[in-house]
Amino acid sequence: MLTKRIIPCLDVKNGRTVKGVNFLELRDAGDPVELGALYARNGADELCFLDISATLEQRKTFAELVREIARNVNIPFTVGGGIGSVAEVGTLLNAGADKITVNSAAVRNPQLISDLAGQFGSQCVVLAIDTKYDNGEWYVYTHGGTRPTPILTTDWAREAYNRGAGEILLTSMNHDGTKNGFALDITSTISQLVNIPVIASGGAGTMAHFVDVFREGRADAALAASIFHFKEIEIADLKKYLKENGISVRI
């Protein structure tokens, strides 16, 4: 049985880690490099570094920050935010990132997924999907969750898989920062739809929520931010709890 992964997310704006609710009302959560190093020491399986304002403000992810993170952590980490070309991905991977995540640029130009998978391999291409439940359907949103699209999340996940994406990072905007639990229905749907790992994001508030998303949501990994940043749940305690509840994790 493959072990389930716990992934702290470092949402970064202007060089600082931030966290909000439903993608809004951001508050400072600390230095991303220091937090990343701490999580690596405390048992995180991977890290995810997202420059959340890069696309919205038409900026590029800072490769220098990626280099600094790489110098200070010894676990795999994913980088995203404003990535829109093969060249940019090459720069970030050379700076030390293990994987990259694309979102808005891939929606605008789906061929980007195919190009990245062809150039660097599917194993380092993560498609981030920001999704919101509206009028009975889950739709894709872009530009940091500020722009709705008419694209159904299931359709987009299937296309990304067919184009060579190696993982899907699925964030429910309805659940983000609420601490009321993950979006189990859409997570389970996507997990069964594609034959690649699905990382669940948005809504973690208790240790039981992680058990739910691994069992009912069929997720391969779970990503969270504020509960780790503000020390509401320690990763070591979470992994012990998961193991006690029959979830296979790396201790």
Q: Where are the alpha helices (DSSP H) in the chain?
A: 32-41, 63-72, 86-95, 104-108, 111-120, 153-163, 184-193, 207-215, 226-229, 235-244
Look up 98 and say whether it is catalytic. Answer: no
Question: How long a stretch of residues is the chain?
Answer: 251
Look up 31 and say whether it is catalytic. Answer: no
- Token digits of residue 237: 């305690």
The CA–CA distances, whole Å, from 90 to 61, 94, 153 equal: 13, 6, 28
Q: Which of 45, 51, 130, 212 is catalytic?
A: 130
DSSP assigned state of 88: H
Give kind and range of the element (H or E) at residue 5: strand 5-13
Q: Which of 11, 45, 51, 220 is catalytic?
A: 11
Evaluated on CA atoms 230, 173, 168, 13, the torsion sign reads: negative
Residues involved in catalysis = 11, 130
